[in-house]
Amino acid sequence: MANLNSKYDPNAESQTAFNAIPTGEYPAVIVDSDMKPTKRGDGEYLELAYEITEGQYKGRKLWARLNLKSTNSTAQEIANRQFASIREVTGVANPVDSQELHFKPHVIRVEYIPAGTEQKNGYVTDRDSNEIKAWKRLSDGVATNSAPSSAPAANNQPASPTPPWANKAA
């Protein structure tokens, strides 16, 4: 049993469901990572937790899973190419620990996958989801799917002592 006294905000709003985000490019960082065994137990994958850092979806998390050790040579080859892209965009050429990749800003290309989509392995998605398809350096530019925030242009005219409504022609 755990004592929860003063450990939470009793006025916090409940979490709403996270729907899949639109296809697009988003600035993001890796915030967590872990090597995990595959379901069959015959390999391992690197799970990378991403957090979007700007725009309408700031704070949203997405995951990439790279089958770095697999009995399926094609899956392992794809994972190694993806990992090479991640190493390149983060500037960490030869990481010894996946934590070296954390909090290095870059851009992820996210694809929206609607419910009912049949995957290459025959699995049919039961809900809308996202998949990270590509990585690029933040300096290469990013087109996000959110409206840019803009401040009103500064008025460089000197302030008039007469209020605007008093300037009406008679």
Residue among 49, 86, 80, 79 at smallest CA distance from 64: 49
Place of tokens 């990013």: 142
pLDDT in tens, 47-102: 999 999 999 999 999 999 999 999 999 999 999 999 999 999 999 999 999 999 99
Any idea where the domains of the chain sit in the sequence? 24-140
| Bridge partners (DSSP) listed for residue 26 | 108
Tell me which of 2.60.40, 2.40.50, 2.40.480, 1.10.3470 is the CATH number of domain 24-140. Answer: 2.40.50
Q: What is the pTM of this model?
A: 0.72
Distance in angstroms (rounded) separating the CA atoms of residues 83 and 160: 61
